[in-house]
Amino acid sequence: MTVAASIALSTQNLVAGYERDLPIVRGVDFSVATGELVVVLGPNGAGKSTFVKAIAGLVPIHSGTALLVGNDITHVPAHEKIRHGLAFVPQTENIFSTLTIEDNLRLAADILPKERRARRIADLYATFPDLAARPSLRAGQLSGGQRQMLAVARALIVEPSVLILDEPSAGLSPKIVAEVFSRLKAINRAGVTVVLVEQNVKAALAIADRAVILVEGLVRHEGPAATLADDPIVAELYLGARHERRAS
Ligand SMILES: Nc1ncnc2c1ncn2[C@@H]1O[C@H](COP(=O)(O)OP(=O)(O)OP(=O)(O)O)[C@@H](O)[C@H]1O
Ligand SMILES: [Mg+2]
């Protein structure tokens, strides 16, 4: 295998933002190996969501490039990125609350060839038995954790090579966060490369292979997840600040 072939997703000097004269992501080099689970950390307003939304095609890229398994996807429209194997689960509005679980999955399956749709929905029900138990329940009636699972199931229906999630733990209790994260880890082990944006530092580092810390739109630090939790730079930059806030 060549080195290039083992990179699932990368950005080179990526500059992105909502307005052309106001870059939020200010030149990010980022790389995720095939099969890795990488967490993107950083303080509020660091540009984490802007970064992943830019990769997903939802925020304009001013300069630089984004590659997905070697293909240049920098200027591929958001809805076509899914065909290249990139799935993105935004933090909010990631399911249709007024539709049933089944219809949420059917809509997600629409871009598949007709003959594959039923099979993939059945596969996802096998992976998420909670969803399979009540296919005609309206998604809005699900618990927070189950909603996130439905959002993930929708994203997985097309069998993406890379799954990006923006703060899937937001608003969930620690117990449910643990459940959601263990599902994500299992999905990763089954072969999906995962990029996870998180505020929940400890829980995210526990399942990640590697972490990248963004500060003010730049990569401030990165390293193996196992060593990062104890890294003094991380403590100073991020963990320390959060602990102080909690203690006060
Ligand atoms: N829709 C938008 N239009 C203009 N500016 C925005 C928009 N969304 C975010 N920003 C700005 O971009 C900067 C980075 O925001 P972003 O949401 O990417 O940070 P974040 O790291 O995801 O923060 P958080 O941890 O709070 O989710 C902030 O200054 C924010 O005000
Ligand atoms: Mg965000």
3-state SS string over 39-52? EEECCCCCCHHHHH
What's the pLDDT at 154? Answer: 95
- The rounded distance, in Å, linking the Cα atoms of 12 and 15 is 9
Mutate to test the pocket of ligand 1, among 50, 165, 195, 238 (most ligand atoms within 8 A of CB): 50
Q: Give residue 86's domain range.
A: 4-91+160-247
Question: Residue 237's domain is classified under what CATH number?
Answer: 3.40.50.300
Ligand 1 atom index nearest CA of 214:
21
Task: Kindly state whether residue 126 falls inside one of the protein's structural domains.
Answer: no
Higher pLDDT, residue 64 or 240: 64
d(CA 40, CA 198): 6
Hey, how many other C-beta atoms are within 10 angstroms of the C-beta on 157?
A: 24
Per-residue tokens: 180: 């959601």
pLDDT at 131: 95
Is the beta carbon of 199 within 6 A of some atom in ligand 1?
A: yes
Ligand 2 centre distance from Cα of residue 166 (Å): 7
C-alpha span between 56 and 66 (Å, rounded): 10
- The number of the ligand 1 atom at minimal distance from the alpha carbon of 50 is 18
Contact between 42 and 48 under an 8 Å Cβ cutoff? The reply is yes
What's the pLDDT at 243? 44
Are residues 31 and 89 in contact, defined by beta-carbon separation less than 8 angstroms? no
The count of domains in the chain is: 1
Q: 121 in a domain, yes or no?
A: no
pLDDT tens-digit profile of 60-105? 999 999 999 989 999 999 999 988 999 999 998 899 999 999 999 9
Residue 203 near residue 178, CB atoms below 8 Å: yes
**In sequence order, what are the beta bridge partners of 177?**
none
- Taking the C-alpha atoms of residue 163 and residue 247, their distance in angstroms, rounded to an integer, is 35
Q: Is 42 in the pocket of ligand 1 (CB under 6 A)?
A: yes
Tell me if 212 is assigned to some domain.
yes
Q: Output the CA 232–ligand 1 centroid distance in Å.
A: 26
Q: Which atom of ligand 1 is closest in space to residue 46's alpha carbon?
A: 21
In a domain, 140, yes or no: no
Strand, coil or helix: what is 24?
Answer: coil
Taking residues 162-166, report their average pLDDT. 98
Does residue 72 fall inside a structural domain? yes
Please tell me if the CB atom of residue 64 comes closer than 6 angstroms to any atom of ligand 1: no
112 domain residue, yes or no: no
Dihedral angle sign, alpha carbons of residues 168, 201, 42, 159: negative
Mean pLDDT of the chain: 91
3-state helix, strand, coil in the chain (%, to 5): 45, 25, 30
Contact 133, 102 (CB under 8 A): no
| Residue 203 in this model has a pLDDT that exceeds 50 | yes
Q: Give the integer Cα–Cα distance in Å for 133 and 122.
A: 12
Q: How far is residue 141's CA from residue 97's CA, in Å, rounded to a whole number?
A: 8
68 lines ligand 1 (CB under 6 A): no
Distance CA 215, CA 242 (A): 15
Distance CA 231, CA 235 (A): 6
